[in-house]
Chain A
Amino acid sequence: MTDLRTAREGALLEGMRRGEQEAAAALYDMYSPMLLALALRICGQQPDAEEVVLDTFMQAWRDAHRYDASRATVAGWLTTIARSRALDLVRARVRRQHATDAAQLRQVDEPMITSTPLADSVLEHAEEGAAVRRAMAQLSDKQRCVIEMAFYEGLTHAEIATRLMEPLGTIKTRIRLGMMRLRDTLGPLALGGQS
C-alpha cells in the first residue's frame, strides 16, 4: 500500500467525519468493487451483495470517527464490516429457509469474474487482490479450503470439522499452518506496510 493512498484514505475519512458526502462517495469509488466481490462471494446473490455494500458504506459514514488507522487499514476496516453484514445476512436467510440445500448456498464458491476496473485506486486494489490470490494459491488445497470456509462462510473450526468429517485437531492444525503461511507470504501487504 502506498503512502499516497494512505494519505488519500486518511483525508477521505477526515472529510466523512466532517460530514462531507463527497468524501464518502470517493471512498465508495475506491472500495465498492472489492466489497462487492467479497459480498458476492459470501452471499452468492447480487441483490444481497449490493445491499451489503450499501450497508457497509452507510455504516462507515456513520462511524467514520471510530476508525483507528493504527489498528487496521481502511480496506481491512471495510472488509470486516462487509463480511460481518454478509455473514449475518446469509445466516438470517438460512434461518428462514431451513430446507434450503447447502449446495445452493455453495454457489457462492463459484469464482467471481473480475471486471476491469477503471480507477487507478481500484487498479491498485486489483494488484493487491492478485497478490492475495497468489498467496492463497501457495497453500495446500486442504489449508485453503478450511480458511475459506472460516472466512467466507463464518464457520467455526468445529463446524468445519463436522462439515468435512475430519478430526477437530486436524482442522485446527490446517488453519494455523495455513494462516501462518499466508501471513508470511503476504508480509508487508498484510501488515499495512509498503507493498
Chain B
Amino acid sequence: MTPFTIDDARALLPAFALDALDPPERQAMLDALQRFPELHAELDTFVKTVHTLGTSETVMPAPGLRDRFLQRLATADPDAPPTDAAPAMAASSGDRLQHRSTHRPSARRPLWRRVAPLLVTAALAATVVVLVRSQASLRNELDAARLAYTKGQSTIAERDQALAEKEAVLRTLLGGGDALLVVNMGVPNATGPGMQFFWNVKDGRGVLHAFRLPQTAQGRAYQLWLIRDGQPVPSRVFTPDGDGSTTLFDIELPQSTTGVTAVAVTEEPAGGSKLPTTQPFLVGTVSTRSQ
C-alpha cells in the first residue's frame, strides 16, 4: 500500500480512532504516525471523543451482578500477572496496534515477528563476542608490534653504540697522525692472550684491543696500568667478552709520553685497585720507537 502523506493520514484519523480502518490502512496509518508525530495530539482528541461514546447511556445492573463480581474478586489471585489474552487496554493512539491485534482474532503476530527479537539479540551477542575477540587479537598484535618496535629500537641503539665506538676508535687511531704510539703485548701469532694498545698522544686518548683473554673469576676484572717513572698509574678496568676479546676506546691518557716506560695488565678486584695487587701478566714497552 502506498504510504500515507500527512494529509492522507490526517483525513483518516477519526476512522482510525474508531478502529474503522482496514488492516492495510491501519498499518499505513501506524507508519504515518511514526513519520508525522505532529498528528499524535490530534489523534488523541478523536480517541478521547470515541471514549465518550460509550458513556452515553446507563442501565442499572441487577444487584446479583455486584455479588457475582465480588465473588470473582474474592477468588481472584491477587498476584496473578496481567493477562495478554484480555481485550486491549488501549486508551490512546500509542496503543492502537495492540488494541487491534487482540480485537481481531486473525491478528496473531507471525512467527518471524516473535522470533526476530531473539535473533537480533543473538546476533548482537555474537557481534559482541566477535568484537571482544577482535579487540583481544588486536591488543595482542599491538603488544607484539610494540615489542618488535622496542627490540628494533634496542637493536638500532646497539648499532648506534657500535658505530660510535668504531668512530671513536677510528678517531683515536687516525686523529693521532704521527703522534700515534702502538704497543703490542704478548706474543704475535701465539695461542696465548695478547693486546694491542694505541695511544693518541696528541689527543690524550687511547684504544686497547685485547684477545684470547681468559675469563675472570666472579668479582674479578682486568685493569690497565701505565708505568710512569717506575710507578704504576691506574687506568681502565675491564672484562673480556665471551670469546675472550674486548676493545676499550676513549681511554684517558697523558698527552705526553714523558716518563712512561710501559703499559701492563693485572687481574684485580672488579672495582679496580689504586695499586696492583697481582703480578702483571701482560706487559708492553713504551718507547719512542713505538710511535
Min CB–CB distance A165 → chain B (angstroms): 17
Q: A76-B91, A132-B52 are in contact. Are A21 and B73 (CB under 8 A)?
A: yes
Q: Is A80 an interface residue (CB 8 A)?
A: yes
Q: Is A59 an interface residue (CB 8 A)?
A: yes
Instruction: Tally A-B pairs: CB < 8 A.
Output: 225
Q: Mark A53-66, 1 if CB is under 8 A from B, else 0.
A: 11101110111011
Q: A37-B57, A82-B54 are in contact. Are A180 and B103 (CB under 8 A)?
A: no
**Range of interface residues on A (Cβ < 8 Å):** 35 or more
Q: Is B208 an interface residue (CB 8 A)?
A: no
Min CB–CB distance B13 → chain A (angstroms): 8
Of the listed residues B46, B52, B90, the one surrounded by the most CB atoms of chain A closer than 10 A to its CB is B52
Q: Is A175 an interface residue (CB 8 A)?
A: yes
Min CB–CB distance A188 → chain B (angstroms): 10
Q: A28-B66, A83-B54 are in contact. Are A150 and B87 (CB under 8 A)?
A: no
Q: A59-B87, A179-B14 are in contact. Are A72 and B55 (CB under 8 A)?
A: no
Would you call B49 and A66 a contact (CB within 8 A)? no
Q: Which single residue of chain A is at the shortest CB-CB distance from B15?
A: A175
Min CB–CB distance A2 → chain B (angstroms): 15
Q: Is A87 an interface residue (CB 8 A)?
A: yes
Q: A72-B91, A76-B91 are in contact. Are A151 and B18 (CB under 8 A)?
A: yes
Give the docked Cα–Cα distance between A189 and B83 (Å): 31
Min CB–CB distance A171 → chain B (angstroms): 9
Would you call B58 and A37 a contact (CB within 8 A)? yes
Min CB–CB distance B47 → chain A (angstroms): 8
Q: Is A145 an interface residue (CB 8 A)?
A: no
Give the docked Cα–Cα distance between A62 and B85 (Å): 12
Would you call B72 and A71 a contact (CB within 8 A)? no
Q: Mark A167-191, 1 if CB is under 8 A from B, else 0.
A: 0000010011011101100100111
A147 contact set on B, CB distance < 8 A: 18, 53
Would you call A151 and B65 a contact (CB within 8 A)? no
A82 contact set on B, CB distance < 8 A: 54
A sample of 30 inter-chain contacts (CB < 8 A) reads: A21-B70, A25-B69, A28-B69, A33-B58, A38-B54, A41-B57, A58-B72, A59-B87, A59-B89, A61-B76, A62-B81, A68-B92, A71-B92, A72-B91, A75-B54, A79-B53, A79-B54, A80-B91, A83-B54, A84-B103, A85-B87, A91-B105, A136-B53, A136-B56, A151-B50, A157-B22, A158-B22, A175-B14, A183-B45, A192-B48
Residues of A within 8 A of B (CB): 19, 21, 24-25, 28-29, 32-38, 40-41, 50, 53-55, 57-59, 61-63, 65-68, 71-73, 75-77, 79-85, 87-88, 91, 112-118, 122, 125-126, 128-129, 132-133, 136, 147, 150-151, 154-158, 160, 172, 175-176, 178-180, 182-183, 186, 189-192
Taking A40-B59, A77-B91, A132-B55 as given, write out 4 further A-B residue pairs in contact, using a Cβ cutoff of 8 Å, ordered by the A residue number: A33-B59, A34-B58, A54-B72, A180-B14
